[in-house]
Amino acid sequence: IMESNRPDYSRTGTMRYIKQYIFTILALIQLSHGKAILPLEGPIDAPSVEKALGESVWKKILSGDIYTKSEVEDFKIFGQKKQKLTFYIAGLHKKSCRFALKKLSHYESYNEHIGYIKRSKYDEKTQRVDFLLSSSLLPYNMTLNFKIPRIKSIGSYPFIFDKGFLRNLKGTIRAINYKKRCLFYTTANWEGDHSGIPNSIFAFFSKAMSQLAMENLFRISTTY
């Protein structure tokens, strides 16, 4: 669930438009690079991820880069304006999955490691995370709440946002052994009512926030 007091873009002040302009330029620069997002079917392993990402991106990941791609588009159904998001992020951890996941699966401590997460909770019984996000990178504060088990071992872990903003967003987090290291590959897709956020802004903040989160989580999970 993502909830917020969404601003009326038609009434915002000069500074809001300046920020949007900057975000738009940055987003367009970033979206102009990299291979198009490809859907993956069936079992996911390192070779299939490499094939989906392409040789140049795969080399960057092997060198230590975290690669993120976010595409947002408008479309219409019976004249009603809609929006869709296609997203992936991939990164190769320095440690094994068994080592890395000891900290990465502790969702309730994310607010201690990721600056824009102001509140992080996890209900063991319902398997739901609850994050409050607040950052200058975001167009407004958001609450993120969805169901996902603790990821403690290699495998594929599907998730869905079942209520609120971005309702029915579906994704999968994959943890894959790769030469004694852990390859993380997450994909997500969403279609729904238009968010009111310009596509370039939406793509930029989803990409920037996700990459920042993975960088921080990789850093703090390389040691006990």
pLDDT value at position 224?
75
In this structure, what token pair is assigned to residue 157? 């872990």
- Neighbouring C-beta atoms of residue 108, cutoff 10 Å: 15
Q: What is the pLDDT of residue 141?
A: 85
Taking the alpha carbons at both ends of the chain, their separation in whole angstroms is 31
Determine the Cα–Cα distance for residues 52 and 39; give it in Å rounded to an integer.
8
Predicted pLDDT of residue 21: 43
Q: Say if strands 142-147 and 2-3 run parallel, antiparallel, or are unpaired.
A: antiparallel
pLDDT recorded at residue 161: 87
pLDDT in tens, the chain (224 residues): 444 445 444 445 545 544 444 444 344 333 333 343 444 444 578 998 998 899 999 999 999 999 999 999 999 988 899 999 999 999 999 999 999 999 999 999 999 999 999 999 999 999 999 999 898 877 778 888 888 999 999 999 998 888 767 888 999 999 999 999 999 999 999 999 998 889 999 999 899 989 999 999 999 999 87
| pTM attached to this predicted model | 0.78
Paired sense of beta strands 117-123 and 2-3, if any: unpaired
Q: Which amino acid is at 177?
A: N
Residue among 119, 118, 186, 117 at smallest CA distance from 148:
186
